[in-house]
Amino acid sequence: MMHTEAGAAAGADEGAHPQAKPIRVLLADDHPMIRRGLMSLLSTLPGVVVVGQAGNGREVLREAAVARPDVVVMDLRMPGVDGVETTRLLARDHPDVAVLVLTMFDEDQLISEALAAGARGYLLKGAEQDEIERAIRAVAAGDVIFSATVADRVLRSATAPAPALPALSHREGQVLDLIASGLGNDAIARRLSLAPKTVGNHISSIFLKLGVATRSEAIVLAREAGLGRR
């Protein structure tokens, strides 16, 4: 599922299942003042708890192994191991951890690299509190969320749809086929014996490769390629 700050969504309705336990958040930014500001902001949100802070990629990986967060709010420009590489390593070693990028940079290449590395959300610093809250809850639930500015860049970077789909992994092809068949994330997870967050990761990658921003757009391309015909 992908959202923008305007609230456009695809897939299951938000809020259908209330959060059963607090969302555990790790803050990653090399500026202590920004971390303190985020800590202050998140402390006011019900059902959200900050379980750690990190100033660089190595600290993120160490804290993630100890604190077991559900979400890492990740800056991209950090000393040593940067946010993109840290996201890639988290996706490899802690696939159930959702990465929400919060950065001041909105270059097309950086956005593409972060999403390809496994980020499930991308916001720009300066986002309002309700947008950050919505994004944290969305990625924790296995969804994909962009700010409106970033979503526009992703869409503009996409070329005209080709008759054939771009190269997808075998699992991504299975997920896309089930999306085109009308199944929601939870049903796909049950069908493929995957965790819902893992399905969300696959959907993020599929959207990026297809150059789409909504589930309906992905379904159109998939059905044009012959998927979802059951």
pLDDT at residue 167, rounded to an integer: 79
Question: Region 158-168: what's the mean pLDDT?
Answer: 58
* DSSP label of 116: H
CA gap 139, 131 in Å, rounded: 12
pTM: 0.63
pLDDT at residue 155, rounded to an integer: 65
Which residue type occupies 197? K
Number of other CB atoms surrounding residue 140 within 10 Å: 25
What is residue 65's three-state secondary structure?
helix
Range 14-34 burial, b when 16+ CB lie within 10 A, else e:
eeeeeeeeebbbbbbbbeeee
Question: Region 120-135: what's the mean pLDDT?
Answer: 92
User: Cα–Cα distances in Å, from 46 out to 22, 23, 24, 41, 66?
Assistant: 8, 9, 12, 11, 23
pLDDT at residue 153, rounded to an integer: 67
Which domains can be identified in the chain, with CATH numbers? 2-154 (3.40.50.2300), 158-224 (1.10.10.10)
Both tokens of 140, joined, read: 């924790």
Could you tell me the pLDDT band of residue 160, with boundaries at 50, 70 and 90?
A: very low
Question: Region 187-195: what's the mean pLDDT?
Answer: 91
Better-predicted residue by pLDDT, 125 or 151? 125
What is residue 71's three-state secondary structure?
strand
Q: Which residues lie closer than 8 Å to 111 by C-beta, 6 or more apart?
A: 122, 150, 153, 154
pLDDT at 25 over 90: yes
